[in-house]
Amino acid sequence: MQSRLKKVHSSNLCLFLLLIPSAFLCAQTDNEFCWEEAARRYSVDPLLLYSIAQVESNLDPKAFNDNGDTQDYGIMQINSWWLEKLSEYDIDKEKLYNPCININIGAWILNHSFGLYGHTWDAVGAYNAGTSSSPEASQRRSNYARKVYERFSENKELNNDMRRHAAIDKSQLLEE
């Protein structure tokens, strides 16, 4: 009986590991608290925050992007436009390479966007494309929001699949 439980348990673990993208595994072990804490602090969905980081940097905490007149730093690709405001909190571009700081700032910026646009995909688009009312900026917001929505939907489906499999596995253990 116990060896059978061990087999079920180890097969469940293998199934669980196959369902999770390896980048998410790393993020969970290294920064799980950061995602949850930032999401809670700034009232944003942790899965949405994670999906934005996937689109922005492919979860690379050392990511850097030079846009010519501005630069983006870290896992959430915080734009240098924010540095003046962040300096009030003693945060400079070097600190933006700390994943937990960066994730918290990303959540803060997303919360700011929600304050301007409500809890909409346009607010998610503003995270990356800004708040200009020009037709070009509106199109960039829409394009960006679509990318994040696709990632978010994939992540949500994966999350639901894992929960379904966990429920099935739990019921199998109860039957034995």
pTM for the whole structure: 0.76
Q: Could you tell me the CATH number of the domain that includes residue 125?
A: 1.10.530.10
69 domain residue, yes or no:
yes
Question: Cα angle at 131 between 125 and 132, to 5 degrees?
Answer: 120
60 domain residue, yes or no:
yes
What's the CA gap between 49 and 53, in Å, rounded?
6
**Would the pLDDT of 14 be above 50?**
no
Rounded alpha-carbon distances, angstroms, from residue 162 to 82, 95, 118: 37, 35, 30
12 domain residue, yes or no:
no
153 domain residue, yes or no:
yes
Mean pLDDT of 129-152: 97
Residue-wise pLDDT tens digits, 59-93: 999 999 999 999 999 999 999 999 999 999 999 99
User: What burial letters (b/e) apply to 20-51, b meaning 16+ CB within 10 Å?
Assistant: eeeebeebeeebeebbebbbeebebebbbbbb
Domain of 85? 31-158
Answer yes or no: are the C-beta atoms of 75 and 55 closer than 8 Å. Answer: no
22 domain residue, yes or no:
no
What's the CA gap between 165 and 173, in Å, rounded?
12
pLDDT category of residue 21 using cuts at 50, 70 and 90: very low
Number of domains into which the chain is organized: 1
